[in-house]
Chains A and B, each alone.
Chain A
Amino acid sequence: MLTALLHAARQKHATDAVDFPDLPEGVGGLPRLTTEPCLGEACGRCVNVCPTGAIQLSGDPENPDVSLDRGLCVTCGACIAGCPTQTIVADPSTKSAVIHREELVLYSKPTETKPIAALDGVKALGPFRRSVDVRVVSTGCNATDLEVAATANAIFDCSRFGIHFVASPRFADVLLVTGPVGRAMQKPLVSCFEAMADPRVVIAVGTCAISGGVHRGGYADANGVMPHLEVHAFVPGCPPHPWSIVHGILIATRSKATNANHSPQHGRG
């Protein structure tokens, strides 16, 4: 017992000092597009190496528009490693969650400026206020589950943000889904959602949950959450960083966009 107490006393503060820190230099995150001109179809390496067809070139074959769908990206880093022009680079940001599926698609030549889902924080607490109970349903290969579980450890300590993981959908505000939702998990997932009380939001965490990822289009019908439930926030990555998952839970429950979905009478006061 004394050893344990001494050990505990010797520990330094474990929790990250800054919320949503950028990833350290040299660390691979999600890819992002820059305005550096691309070599086009003469190169085409990114399109060739991408295992899920997340990257597309269109328009002028010599100076094409590049589009990158983070909802398909499995963060393998092959496009970043292969890009000779730095049109595709690693994005150090851990604030990668979005409210709308379309926001996950990036363009090298933006046609219109799309607002990135910001943390509206205290200004838009909505029905959930500062306490969010999360029920996790896993349907995948457990990498994302482990990162979701990591958000609760001493390093990320998501309870500081009022986020708690609960054992039953009956007391959950958020249904957090991981994995591509193959055939055998479709019914249990929908049952779990139906067991939740309003107001409730659904978050697709990880590329599999968003689109099926590498499993998309296979015989197990594993194409993500969207064919089965309406999704209120998307956290791309394979797996997403724990900070990105916290970001996703916060924007889903605090942003103006999702709060607009909930009428005030459903508020819990």
Chain B
Amino acid sequence: MIRVDAVPIEPADWESSVPERARRKGWKYGHLTIRRAEGGKRLLEALLLNLDNGSAEIASTPIIDGGSKFSSVTSAIPAAHWAEQAVGDLWGLHASGHPRWKSLILHEAWPPDKFPFAVSADGPPSPRESKFLTVGGQGVHEIPVGPIHAGIIEPGHFRFSCIGEIVANLDIRLGYVHRGVEARLAAVPLRHARHVAESASSDSAVANALAHAQALEDLWGLEGPKRAAAVRTVALEIERVANHFGDLGALASDIGFALGAATFGRLRGAALGFGQTLSGTRFQRGFVCPGGLAWEVGDAQLRLLTQSLSELKPAAADACEILFENPGVQERLEGVGILKPSLADEFGMVGPTARASGSPYDARCHFAHALFPGLAVDVATETAGDAFARAEVRRKEVFSSLRLIEEVLAALPQGGSLVKTPETLPPSKTAIGIVEAWRGELIHWITTDEQGKISRYAIRDPSFQNWTGVAIAVRGNLVMDFPLINKSFNLSYSGSDL
């Protein structure tokens, strides 16, 4: 259970008070958004996380009636710059003092007067501004890429400003897969919400289902069975292993190392097979649910899983050796796409991206409630912040996850895997679920109204923080290294667009 304290702040103090609170020792910024409180009033809220004791606080301040502005905190907390832009798009509010104000999620394809979360009583919305950052000077040229990309990947637009072959700036425009997931989550019957939550970014289906379940279980003050906690841990780590294999294979593919690509593609298939053995499907959809697991896992499945794991470990070690010990691979990855630790920290990077730039933050350690109790997670860190460091963190995490899975399977508690959950939610409460998804800290943040209906369901996908890292890391690099740098982050578009 994550304790969440409410901290009301006067509108005039917002700009100074929130950064002060976020800078206290042991605290970090989590997310920023708006919700509708009693009587239709809009409340601006900032979620701050305490890594020392695994608690959270929500600073909140009202948006003045009929107002179309709020004070930006981005200059003091750069990590909040996208969250404030998203508020602009969805609520029609302007963040005064934001150093680079523009639309983030909704652009030309949307009617200029469409603000999905705004109502007429809010007063006139602040208009959207859709523009790219341009770089001036002699010889500067632009390369537009997307939204449809050359490979089999999600859509997004990249606008490069280049001097010769060197990238001077990259402006990333996402939003092409905005599906209205947050609004849908607050609208559907509670029993269906988990399926929508999983589809926020389906390569992280387990992580999303888990964050959703945790937040709801916290709202109810309910704890699932021990066996479910253990199996959820296995499911989450399988998801991590499968995706890390996939990423390492994709990196190999992008540097033209076909053997690595084929080998890791095969390993990823094997890891997805574990998910299928455990849960019934390769992406483990519909398996983790509020109260525990949607169905039991039989002993025969667990035996099969333990056996396949012992076969996978040597194969994974072999594959990592041929990839990481290859001088050609090292040459291509080292020193490419460097994200300095200071910038990674300032812009609020999370997950393997942050850990490759020296951050020791892993939500599995700091918010350990997500895990089967008593497990010690090795936090994998590197300091170089380049593409090689990001690959290296993934390699370390694969083996630490395989060890975790083995440990949990060896001591799997007996008993049922599901407790009955209430059909309604308690009124006027807030809870957050935090999971270390394979891309990093994933937050599901749920608030209920006086009737016990979900009044705001906010998701902060790790990619939402980390996209800025791609833009920073690519500066000063060759244009043709962009695919490789992008792959070394491998972020979700759908999780960011929602």
Q: Name A residues whose Cβ lies closer than 8 Å to a Cβ of B.
A: 1, 3-4, 7-8, 11, 14, 24, 26-28, 48-49, 51, 74-78, 81, 136-150, 153-155, 165, 167-168, 179-180, 182-188, 192, 208, 213-215, 218-220, 222, 238-239, 241
Contacts and interface: CB of A to CB of B under 8 A. Distances in A.
Interface string B465-496: 00000000000000000000000000011110
Interface in B182-209: 183-184, 188, 191-192, 195-196, 199-203, 205
Contacts of A148: 152
Interface stretch (B1-9, B75-83, B277-285, B452-460): B277-285
A141 B280 contact: no
A269 to B, nearest CB: 28
Interface majority SS on B: helix, strand, loop or mixed?
loop
> What 10 pairs across the A-B complex have the smallest Cβ distances?
A143-B202, A28-B280, A76-B286, A51-B192, A153-B265, A167-B150, A184-B109, A141-B494, A218-B180, A51-B195
Contacts, number: 183
A139 B177 contact: yes
Given A7-B322, A141-B494, A154-B262, A81 B202 contact: no
Given A27-B281, A148-B152, A214-B195, A183 B178 contact: yes
Contacts of B184: 214-215, 218
A183 B109 contact: yes
B141 interface: no
B176 A188 contact: yes
A142 B493 contact: yes
B317 to A, nearest CB: 11
A31 to B, nearest CB: 12
Given A28-B280, A51-B192, A76-B195, A137 B181 contact: no
Interface in B151-187: 151-155, 175-181, 183-184
B419 interface: no
The listed residue with most A CB atoms (<10 A of its CB), out of B266, B285, B301, is: B285
Contacts of A27: 276, 280-281
A49 B153 contact: no
Nearest to A4: B322
Size bracket, chain B contacts: 35 or more
A269 B51 CA distance: 66
Contacts of A179: 177
26 contacts: A4-B326, A7-B259, A8-B259, A28-B281, A49-B191, A74-B285, A77-B280, A77-B286, A136-B152, A137-B148, A140-B179, A141-B201, A142-B154, A143-B283, A153-B266, A165-B151, A167-B151, A182-B176, A182-B179, A184-B110, A184-B175, A185-B147, A188-B148, A218-B183, A220-B179, A222-B179
Contacts of B106: 184
A48 B191 CA distance: 9
A146 to B, nearest CB: 6
B407 interface: no
Nearest to A7: B322
A81 B281 CA distance: 14
A214 B178 contact: no
Given A75-B285, A153-B262, A153-B265, A185 B201 contact: no
Given A75-B286, A184-B107, A188-B148, A219 B116 contact: yes
Interface in B206-265: 246, 259, 262-263, 265
A44 to B, nearest CB: 13
B119 interface: no
B294 interface: yes
B399 interface: no
B295 A140 contact: no
B188 A51 contact: yes
Given A51-B192, A74-B195, A185 B203 contact: no
A132 to B, nearest CB: 15
